[in-house]
Amino acid sequence: MIKKLLALCTLSLVLTACDKVATPPTPPSFQNTDLTGLDYARDFALTDHNGKPRTLADFKGKVVVMFFGFTQCPDVCPTTMAEMAAVMKELGPDADKVQVLFVTIDPERDTQQLLAQYVPAFDARFLGLYGDAEATAKVAKEFKVFYAKVKGKAEGSYSMDHTAASYVFDRNGKIRLFVRHGKGPAPIVHDIKQLLN
C-alpha cells in the first residue's frame, strides 16, 4: 500500500513538473508596431561621430533605438531626439542598457564634426552615424527608409523629406518595433522595459 502511495505521489510530481514546462512564456504586449520576425532592417555598416566603424553587432546586449534624420531638420528630428532623451531619463539606471543611434540621411552636410556636436547635445550616450552617399542609400534600402532632397527657396539650399519613425532592436540585435513619430515617451519606455526583461 505504501509503495502504491509513493508511486502515485511520484507520478503526481512528474505531471506537475510537465505542466510547468509546457506553459509557454507570455509574449510581450507592445504599444508600438511589432516587427518581430521581419527579414529586413538586419544590419548596417556606418561610422559613428567619434570616427569608429559601427555595425549592429557592436551593441549586442543593449536595446537599440535607431532613427534616420538630418541635423538641419527643423521639427521631426529635434523633437524625436528630445523625446528619446526623455525616454532615457524615465528609464533611470536601465538607460545604460539602451543605445540610441541617429543615422544621417544628409551625408553631404552632416559631417562627423557636426554630428559630434548635434547628437550628444540631446544625451551624451547617443551616437550619430554617417556614411557616404552610397553607404547611406544602402542602409536606407535595408531599413526601407524613404528620403529625398527638396529644393529650398534660396539658391543651392535644400531640405530633406524622410521617414519619420524609429526602429527598435532587442538585446540580441533582432528587429522588434517600429515607433511612429510624435507618440510621446510613455509607449517607448513601456516597450523598452518589456525588451529589457
In the prediction, which pLDDT does 164 show? 87
Residue 92, SS3 per DSSP: helix
- Helices of type H across the chain: 2-22, 76-91, 112-118, 133-142, 185-196
Kindly report the average pLDDT of the chain as a whole number: 88
Other CB atoms within 10 Å distance of the CB of residue 137: 14
Residue written as grid cell 552610397: 134
Higher-pLDDT residue of 63, 21: 63
In contact, 150 and 159? CB cutoff 8 Å:
yes
Would you place residue 25 in the very low, low, confident or very high pLDDT band (cuts 50, 70, 90)? low
Q: Which three cell numbers stand for residue 196?
A: 529589457
Q: Which of 56, 83, 81, 77 is nearest to 176 (CA)?
A: 56
The region of weakest confidence among 47-51, 60-64, 101-105, 163-167 is: 163-167
